[in-house]
Amino acid sequence: MNLEAAVMKNKEAFNETDKAIVSYLLQYPEAASKLSLMELAQKLYVSKSAIFRLSKKLGLSGFSELKFELSELTAKKAQREKYAQGLNFDANLQKILEESVKYFKGLNLTDLFNDLDRAETIYIYSTGWQQQIIAEYLAHSFFLIGKKAIILPSARDEVSMLGRSVKTNDMLFVISFGGFNKTILEELKKIDAVNNQLKLVSLTSWQPGKIASLSNYSFFF
């Protein structure tokens, strides 16, 4: 049985009390399904017999069956909400993808590709576990095209030593959601002072940060 359909079918037979009860039941089916007959009657300021008579008008055997139908309606509402959220997610994802494609189409990547081609070693540094996943993906992608990629541990010492060990045309990818990590900023400035031949590529959030301003190439996500 569909409780909402039963209400629509029998609404002409409802009195004002019935309408008040139905209004609450359809709006709050989950809460109503957890109440006893006495509790529901007290909450709505109606008699128990009024609720029982309404159940009969809806074609139900009594209050127990009404509670069952309320539970079913709760489940249906949850499915509808989940479906609606799915639609919103799909729409938002589509919008993000369109904006990302538009962003990358507007970039001139020729110089970056040339620098990648010249680089002997590509270093990748990330500032968190989520960024680490991106770093691992990048390293794997570089491996597939024959490039040596080294993921640096997320430690300050590793970054500070980099400026003295890299070779000309090597590249450093820094992945930081915020783009404002003070410790990394300090070390990147030191690297630039020691070895200004190192090409820096930053991947940060859509809001440009200071790391992006120090980079030869900056990308936002």
216 or 89: which leads in pLDDT: 216
Domain of 90, in residue numbers: 3-96
99 or 113: which leads in pLDDT: 113
93 or 24: which leads in pLDDT: 24
212 and 119 within one domain: yes
Residue 116 binned pLDDT confidence (cut-offs 50, 70, 90): very high
177 and 74 within one domain: no
pTM of the model: 0.50
Token digits of residue 44 = 């709505």
User: 112 Cβ partners below 8 Å, 6+ apart?
Assistant: 201, 217
Q: What is the pLDDT of residues 139-148, one digit of tens each?
A: 999 999 899 9
188: left (phi over 0), alpha (psi -120 to 50) or beta: alpha
Residue 166 has pLDDT above 50, yes or no: yes
Query: CA 48 → CA 40, 45, 54, 62, 199, distances in Å?
Result: 8, 10, 10, 11, 78
Whether 212 is covered by a domain: the verdict is yes
Residue 153 has pLDDT above 70, yes or no: yes
Supply the pLDDT for residue 51: 93
Boundary residue ending a domain (96, 126, 146): 96
Query: CA 100 → CA 50, 107, 192, 209, distances in Å?
Result: 59, 11, 30, 19
Supply the pLDDT for residue 194: 45
Supply the pLDDT for residue 184: 67
Supply the pLDDT for residue 41: 93
155 or 214: which leads in pLDDT: 214
User: 45 Cβ partners below 8 Å, 6+ apart?
Assistant: none
Boundary residue ending a domain (43, 73, 96): 96
Q: What is the pLDDT of residues 46-69, one digit of tens each?
A: 999 999 999 999 999 989 999 998
Whether 80 is covered by a domain: the verdict is yes
Supply the pLDDT for residue 159: 59
Whether 26 is covered by a domain: the verdict is yes
CATH of the domain at 10: 1.10.10.10
Boundary residue ending a domain (96, 130, 153): 96
194 and 134 within one domain: yes
Instruction: Give the angle 206-211-213 at the CA atoms, nearest 5°.
Output: 85
61 and 14 within one domain: yes
182 and 137 within one domain: yes
Contact status, residue 25 vs residue 32, Cβ threshold 8 Å: yes
Mean pLDDT (the chain) is 81
179: left (phi over 0), alpha (psi -120 to 50) or beta: left
Residue 193 has pLDDT above 50, yes or no: no
CATH of the domain at 207: 3.40.50.10490
112 and 87 within one domain: no
With tokens 């004002």, the residue in question is 16
Q: What is the pLDDT of residues 120-130, one digit of tens each?
A: 899 998 877 77
Whether 101 is covered by a domain: the verdict is no
Whether 27 is covered by a domain: the verdict is yes
Whether 102 is covered by a domain: the verdict is no
Report the domain count for the chain: 2
Whether 18 is covered by a domain: the verdict is yes
186 and 142 within one domain: yes
